[in-house]
């Protein structure tokens, strides 16, 4: 099951700087799908455009009606006093409150140390395999 980031700005996949107590950057990417989309768009933008042209509209459509039976085409559904629907919906059960990517973005030193450790381990494993195969 796909996991979604439980966030007010999750639809855009970003958090603005005021979302964190002491921001170092203006924007943070939230969730693996956001990071993957950004990298694919940088490496092969035409590929992503074709994929979204084929699947984008169908992936955003549903036959389910809103629980209230109302829609928010021209005005918010929660405009009545005392109601606030917030950023919740059908993906609430699939969302989670933590993002590995957001944690790495907030702690760049730890992210660099982790990347270095992964690279060193991969290099050691590669060298060991090269040594045993010869």
101 contacts 32 by C-beta, under 8 angstroms: yes
Stretch 34-54: mean pLDDT: 87
5 contacts 99 by C-beta, under 8 angstroms: yes
pLDDT band at 8 (very low <50, low <70, confident <90, very high): very low
Q: Scan for tokens 């007010």, then name that residue.
A: 8
What pTM was estimated for this model as a whole?
0.45
> Among 33-42, 82-91, 100-109, whose mean pLDDT is lowest?
82-91
Higher pLDDT, 39 or 75: 39
Higher pLDDT, 3 or 36: 36
Higher pLDDT, 101 or 42: 42
Higher pLDDT, 71 or 5: 71
Distances (CA, A) of 82 to 77, 86, 88: 12, 12, 16
Of 103, 77, 99, the closest CA to residue 88 belongs to 77
């Amino acid at each position: 099951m796909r996991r979604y980031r439980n966030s007010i700005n999750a639809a855009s996949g970003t958090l603005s700087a005021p979302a964190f107590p002491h921001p170092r950057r203006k924007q943070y990417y939230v969730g693996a799908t956001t990071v993957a989309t950004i990298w694919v768009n940088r490496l092969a933008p035409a590929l992503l455009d074709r994929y979204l042209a084929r699947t984008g509209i169908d992936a955003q459509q549903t036959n389910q009606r809103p629980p209230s039976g109302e829609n928010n085409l021209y005005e918010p559904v929660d405009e009545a006093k005392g109601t606030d629907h917030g950023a919740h919906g059908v993906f609430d059960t699939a969302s989670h409150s933590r993002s590995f990517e957001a944690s790495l973005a907030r702690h760049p030193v730890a992210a660099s140390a982790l990347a270095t450790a992964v690279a060193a381990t991969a290099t050691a494993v590669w060298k060991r395999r090269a040594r045993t195969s010869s």
